[in-house]
């Protein structure tokens, strides 16, 4: 700012050129304001996947994550199709397929457990993040170790219980679709196992290095 000669009014500093286009007077709508965080790309993963450092384990777990997404997508589409089929049955005389509702309900259960490990790997489970805003460094890493240990112990206990349930199956089937209960419980076993595996990764790959050496591990 400088003071003009006429009346002492403040005048804008001369930049050496006059704005000859309307664009010079309008702020670029796509420009990021100074100091503002850069916007993430639509659909981009904000929480990177938790993976081991070494191959072939890193690639193997990444492939497992892709399979979890594919199976989850198939189950969601299956649920949608079966629910629409149930609605259509109300308007089709003489048609009744009770197994559609049963498989839709079981698909919801399978979806929950199949995607459990994927959500642990991406820190996407429903949670209230309060400690994250209070603690930093080793303190936060210590709390995360306790969380992952709790997840690990719980998943191991439920894995054993589910395996015992499958092992002692006496050939029971579901009421409508007559699916073997052994088959129904297998996705639950897989989900608990993969969740326990991701908890182990969280402890030894992400949390303990920070707790012991204070190092942030890049994914």
49-100 residue pLDDT tens: 889 888 999 999 999 999 999 999 999 999 999 999 988 888 887 767 889 9
Contact 123, 47 (CB under 8 A): yes
The torsion defined by the Cα of 140, 142, 148 and 149, in degrees rounded to 10, comes to -160
Domain assignment present for 162: yes
What is the rounded average pLDDT of the residues 95-119? 92
CA distance 206 to 120: 13
Domain assignment present for 10: no
- Outline where the chain has alpha helix (H): 57-89, 98-114, 116-121, 137-167, 181-201, 208-213
- In the predicted structure, residue 135 carries a pLDDT above the cut 60: yes
Q: How many folded domains does the chain comprise? A: 1
Domain assignment present for 81: yes
Contact 202, 48 (CB under 8 A): no
Q: Which residues contact 82 (CB under 8 A, 6 or more apart)?
A: 100, 101, 103, 104, 107
Residue 9 class from Cβ within 10 Å (0-12 exposed, 13-18 middle, 19+ buried)? Answer: exposed
Domain assignment present for 107: yes
- Outline where 25-97 has alpha helix (H): 57-89
Angle ∠(113,117,118) on CA atoms, nearest 5: 110
Domain assignment present for 147: yes
Domain assignment present for 4: no
CA distance 177 to 179: 6
Domain assignment present for 34: no
Domain assignment present for 7: no
Residue 188 is predicted with a pLDDT of 96
What is the rounded average pLDDT of the residues 113-122? 94
Look at the block and give the residue holding tokens 């500093």. Answer: 13
What is the rounded average pLDDT of the residues 90-116? 90
Of 43, 97, 103, 98, which is closest to residue 75 (Cα–Cα)? 103
Residue 111 is predicted with a pLDDT of 96
pLDDT of 138-197, one tens digit each?
888 898 999 999 999 999 999 999 999 999 999 999 999 999 999 999 999 999 999 999
97: domain range? 52-213
Q: How confident is the model at residue 25 (pLDDT cuts 50, 70, 90)?
A: very low
- What Å distances lie between residue 123 and 74, 107, 150, CA to CA? 22, 23, 15
Q: Which residue has the higher pLDDT, 111 or 140?
A: 111
């Amino acid at each position: 700012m400088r003071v003009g000669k006429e009346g002492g009014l403040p005048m804008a500093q001369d930049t050496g050129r006059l704005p000859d286009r309307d664009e010079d007077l309008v702020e670029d709508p796509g420009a990021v304001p100074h100091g503002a965080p850069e916007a993430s790309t639509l659909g981009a993963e904000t929480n990177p996947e938790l993976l081991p450092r070494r191959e072939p384990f890193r690639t193997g777990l990444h492939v497992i994550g892709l399979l979890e997404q594919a199976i989850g997508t198939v189950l969601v589409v299956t649920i949608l199709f079966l629910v629409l089929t149930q609605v259509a049955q109300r308007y089709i005389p003489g048609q009744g397929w009770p197994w559609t509702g049963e498989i839709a309900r079981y698909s919801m259960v399978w979806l929950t457990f199949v995607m459990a490990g994927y959500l642990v790997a991406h820190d996407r489970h429903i949670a209230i993040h309060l400690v994250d805003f209070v603690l930093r460094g080793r303190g936060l890493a210590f709390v995360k170790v306790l969380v992952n240990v709790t997840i690990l112990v719980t998943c191991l206990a439920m894995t054993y219980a589910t395996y015992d349930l499958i092992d002692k199956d006496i050939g029971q089937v579901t009421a409508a679709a007559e699916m073997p209960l052994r088959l129904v419980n297998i996705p639950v076993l897989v989900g608990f196992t993969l969740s326990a595996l991701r908890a182990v990764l969280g402890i030894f790959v992400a949390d303990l290095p920070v707790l012991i050496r204070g190092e942030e591990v890049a994914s």
